[in-house]
Amino acid sequence: MELLATTEYTSLQHPQFPKYNVRVKKSRFCDGSVSAYTGYIDIEARHLFFYFFESRRDPSKDDIVFWTNGGPGGSSTVGLFMELGPCRVQGPDNTTFNPHSWNEYSNIFFIDQPIGTGFSYADYGEYVSSAEEAATDIAAFVAIFFEHFGQFKGRKFHMAGESYAGRMIPVFASKIYEQNALLEQVGMTSINLASIMLGNGCTEDATMLPSYYDMMCTNVTVPPVLGIGTCVNVKRGLSRCSKWHKQECLDRKDHINCRAAMAYCSQVIAIPYDASGYSPHDLTKKCTGQGAGGMCYEIIEHINAYLNKPEVRAEIGVDPAAPANFSVTAPSVSARFGANLDHLFPTQYYIGALLERGVRVLIYVGANDWICNWVGNERMTLNLEWTGQEQFAGQPLREWSVDDHAAGLTRTAKGFTFATVYGGGHLAPYDKPAETLEMFRKWVSSEEL
């Protein structure tokens, strides 16, 4: 990687992947203290854009982390420039060094996926509409990356993500795990998949839907944010919402009836909450200064403006064929996944399968998040069917600490950990950077919280 050019792409190919190509360039982008790389992995006519940053501690020994945001269609520049990346966008024209970046302890890359997200694009309008379809591109991406950058072969590999990535990451990791057999058959090094990390993930609707009542009408995190009459109406409608969701969305997967069921659930749950004015990403804050894509953060607009600057696009090597106007959200991608009812698959099955195969799993949740909240996530983890279920569910919640102050609650057994982050919202590393960095350090070091 030291021989790569900084002014233009170097194109890399591999005989085992004749239809695939890597275009990559080197820079000091964003961090300045470590080597950074940007580019595309070309999978036939589909082109996935990535940023890769070496570890500040020891790039020759530290683990590799894959990060993606949610959406679907949410660019991972939110994670990069707002949460856990080496720099933070402070305005439309500048960034500052982030001392709490996860590349303090790892080599990390951020990827715009699925196709159509961020700077990723397709030549002829190709697209994917499910996590399973997207997983094929991601598995190829990972195999090509490790094959070309041999110094990272055999390192522990962690797949992490946020929000809708609670659906995507378990599917992606499973595809990579299954692909290892094929890599070994052709004499390539298998991927050392060590763990997955799901931050404020929406993984299973069946447990998440009733949890919205707990979050907005009880004292599980903060005092109720809705009035008594509204909460009574929500409570009365929940049983029908859950019943119809199970019958039409899970058991039958009838597209028309499922949409009707979800519309009813939205009327019962989401519309009253939206009317309160509170942010769906933090029920302690009103949604003011709303940024792009319905996210109540002004910094989102700054990220869009920064990445639309011609000099920034030139520095990171954005292909002229990529979208002319960068946006952290891609509504067309979200619409395709939604039309396919992708979010309705019970992705916890993938989590259980990974745990059975020795892949560690961390579920962490900012305690103030509403949309993918800790109550629903905890219920999912307790209900998860796997051989360690009884031992995991038998563990009490206990506080974990950072620098002698309580940082959240946690439960762990047999490689499976659930953790909350006090004071954190949907974007927990943004709200609690020091605490989530220490959580990350312990996780990749195989230390208990």
Residues annotated as catalytic (active site), given as ranges: 163, 369, 426
Helix/strand/coil for 179 = helix
Closest CA to 361 of 120, 185, 119, 195: 195
Is 12:148 a contact under the CB 8 Å cutoff?
A: yes
Is 361:196 a contact under the CB 8 Å cutoff?
A: yes
Hey, which residues does 76 pair with through a beta bridge? Answer: none
Q: What distance in Å separates the CA atoms of residue 279 and residue 262, rounded to the nearest whole number? A: 21
Per DSSP, 152 falls in state G
Which are the contacts of 381, defined by CB distance < 8 A and separation ≥ 6? Answer: 363, 392, 411, 416, 418
Enter the tokens of residue 34.
């470590």
Closest CA to 134 of 104, 167, 108, 163: 167
Closest CA to 8 of 23, 18, 20: 23
Looking at the chain, the number of H-run helices and the number of E-run strands are 15, 17
Q: What distance in Å separates the CA atoms of residue 408 and residue 200, rounded to the nearest whole number? A: 14
Is 382:443 a contact under the CB 8 Å cutoff?
A: no
Q: What distance in Å separates the CA atoms of residue 111 and residue 138, rounded to the nearest whole number? A: 9
Q: What distance in Å separates the CA atoms of residue 14 and residue 17, rounded to the nearest whole number? A: 5
Hey, which residues does 21 pair with through a beta bridge? Answer: 42
Is 249:346 a contact under the CB 8 Å cutoff?
A: no
